[in-house]
Amino acid sequence: MVVSSKPRRRPAVMMDVARLAGVSHQTVSRVLNESSSVSELTRRRVLQAIAQLDYRRNGVARALVTRRSHTFGVISFDMTRYGPVSTLFALEEAARDAGYVLSVASLRGMERTEIRDTVDRLMAQSVEGILVIAPQRPVALALRHIALDIPVVAVQLATVSSHPVVGIDQVQGAREATRHLLSRGHRTVWHVCGPSDSLDAEGRLAGWREELTSAQAPMHDPLDGDWSPLSGYRAGQVLADRGDVTAVFVGNDQMALGVLRAFAERGIRVPEDVSVVGFDDVPEAAFFTPPLTTVRQDFAAVGRIGMRTLLRRLAGAAPENRTVVRPELIVRASTAAPPP
């Protein structure tokens, strides 16, 4: 093995930039802080030196001087799921467009001390605001009791939150999914719901119930799930054993995948025997067998509006307490009229 004896070049510092540009380090600082007191010729010399030396400003030092970190904190939970990951991606894009970066802190549990510690970790990084992508009831309740002197915006925490909320109308999405199945002629619609501590699952369950009640359709107890394909598969086995099920609204597409697998194993055809609707419109939904009718969530809109709401709060404006993004029903081949 050959080891290079060439010394590794140290990162450039502000004094290196000042020396190369022939100015003081205070002048370099003024250029970096976009001060109007520097002449255009001097500014160009400093910027050229910065580019030549590949100088990277120390973010911590900048925050100490300007009291601005240009960083927002994100509190997240269960980032293995499509919804939270898509929301984070949308927020990151919106933050970058606004000149900010995100610092993500994942919750390992729902205990209030864990949530408090997570907030403290973000505050130690001098974040200017916090976005919450953890639509669980314990998180919403814990944040009510944590005093913060920076703005907080919650994503999909419903009316439980004491902070401004930006989210997709889960109730409306569930109502449209259920109404679609009823409009095809199904007498009732069964439901496989998400975990009990999830506010998303709570909203979808409420929407399903509201639509059945409005249509005066029979209502059966929902089957419990945990967002995973395995829980959907187990619920699908229970539904297959009944023999009288013709329509199912499943709380998310991953559980719907499990339901489809259970039906296929039992010889139940979709949609000829049973119609199935999911929720989320994951990229793979169009390639399920059959392609899945589902409810699409506009996570890009949530990201844009969430970031705009946080920036407005940072500027001292009073944004709306709740901003709702309407979902869209995407009809594919997994729904049809009930069998005669």
Contact (Cβ atoms closer than 8 angstroms) between residue 94 and residue 307: yes
- Fold designation for 71-167+299-324: Rossmann fold (3.40.50)
Q: Could you write out the DSSP letters of every residue in 231-271?
A: HHHHHHHHHHHHS---EEEESSHHHHHHHHHHHHHTT--TT
Contact (Cβ atoms closer than 8 angstroms) between residue 154 and residue 132: yes
Q: What is the pLDDT of residue 9?
A: 62
Q: What is the pLDDT of residue 2?
A: 45
Q: What is the pLDDT of residue 110?
A: 77
Q: What is the pLDDT of residue 66?
A: 46
Residue 148, helix vs strand vs coil: coil
Domain with CATH 3.40.50.2300 in the chain: 71-167+299-324, 170-297
Domain with CATH 1.10.260.40 in the chain: 14-57
Q: From the first residue on, what is the mean pLDDT of each consecutive set of 10 residues in the chain (340 residues)?
A: 51 83 84 79 87 68 56 86 88 89 87 86 89 83 79 74 84 98 98 93 97 98 97 98 96 98 98 98 97 95 91 82 92 96
Which has the closest alpha carbon to 197: 111, 130, 299, 118? 111
For domain 170-297, give the CATH superfamily. Response regulator (3.40.50.2300)
Which has the closest alpha carbon to 229: 202, 194, 204? 194
Q: Which residues pair with 136 in a beta bridge?
A: 198
Q: What is the pLDDT of residue 141?
A: 80
pTM over 0.85: no
- Fold designation for 14-57: 434 Repressor (Amino-terminal Domain) (1.10.260)
